[in-house]
Amino acid sequence: MTLPQCAKCPGKFCYLGVRDLKVLPSFCPMRNYPEKIREIVKRYKEEEVRRIYPLSTMIERDAYNWREARKGTAPRVPVRPRIREVAEFCKALGVKRVGIAFCIGLSDEAARVTEILEKHGLEVCSVLCKCGAIDKEELGVPAEYKIGDPGKPEVGCNPILQAELLNAAGTEVNIIVGLCVGHDMLFTRFSKALVTTLIVKDRFTGHNPVISLYTRYHRNLVLPSEKGG
């Protein structure tokens, strides 16, 4: 397989609607997988996709001042933060009950998210990562992987329980608020409801990982360390 490498594409030609093989780079999926692309278009006719995709595209449009921009009376600018987009998307989908899977370190944020979503008329269930109060070793983690004293109990995050409790509550959309790397993957894997991430955990940057891509002060922190630290 020729691996797709869109992040290295110099022209992002697809964005411009350009399919000319003379300009597409060698790794371009439009050059290498035209049949796959035609096949995938058909998937957008599937019932579940039709329920979600057009509405999500409408929410994308509504994140801009598109009316004024179309009329040419204002430049196109964003007008909604993501939390509002999540709320509007849930309402547009006709969702009544949503779930929040959150981290202990973002308890305050989870309470704020709950309050906002409730003001939008949504019923909100939430499950903390430490729910169950199970020691990490009982969850199959070697004692030396504990953050504190390996000889002492340390409650582990429990993303499968978070997912299953929200599954049992019948939530229709689940929202991740700061789950750890890997725990978020397990939660997503076991959640029956659609999952969106509102906040990614990044302890170092105040949950704003994009900062590390820009500041030169993080350059040595983001690259692999020779000592593996």
Beta carbon nearer to ligand SF4, 29 or 105: 29
Beta carbon nearer to ligand SF4, 12 or 203: 12
Beta carbon nearer to ligand SF4, 2 or 208: 2
Beta carbon nearer to ligand SF4, 12 or 36: 12
**Minimum CB–partner distance for residue 219 and ligand SF4 (Å):** 26
Beta carbon nearer to ligand SF4, 28 or 193: 28
6 lies in the binding site for ligand SF4 (CB under 6 A): yes
State the residue for tokens 């509007």: 88
**Minimum CB–partner distance for residue 27 and ligand SF4 (Å):** 6
Size of the site for ligand SF4 (CB under 6 A): 10
Tell me the three-class secondary structure of 135-176, residue by residue. EHHHHCCCHHHCCCCCCCCCECCCHHHHHHHHHHHCCCEEEE
105 lies in the binding site for ligand SF4 (CB under 6 A): no
Strands 194-199 vs 173-177: parallel, antiparallel or unpaired: parallel
- Tokens representing 216 are 């030169």
**Minimum CB–partner distance for residue 6 and ligand SF4 (Å):** 3
9 lies in the binding site for ligand SF4 (CB under 6 A): yes
Q: Confirm if 191 and 98 have CB atoms less than 8 A apart.
A: no
* 161-181 core/surface letters (b: 16 or more CB in 10 A; e: else): bbbebbeebebbbbbbbbbbe
12 lies in the binding site for ligand SF4 (CB under 6 A): yes
Say which residues have a Cβ less than 8 Å from residue 183's Cβ, sequence separation at least 6: 129, 157, 159
The one among 1, 17, 25, 74 contacting ligand SF4 by CB under 6 A: 25
User: Which window, 8-16, 37-45, 74-82, 156-164, contacts ligand SF4 (CB under 6 A)?
Assistant: 8-16
H-helix or E-strand spanning residue 197: strand 194-199
Q: Which residues pair with 108 in a beta bridge?
A: none
Q: Confirm if 148 and 154 have CB atoms less than 8 A apart.
A: yes
The one among 2, 20, 28, 122 contacting ligand SF4 by CB under 6 A: 28
Residue 229 CA, distance from chain mean position: 27
32 lies in the binding site for ligand SF4 (CB under 6 A): no
Instruction: Give contact residues for ligand SF4 (rule: CB under 6 A).
Output: 6, 9, 12-14, 24-25, 28-30
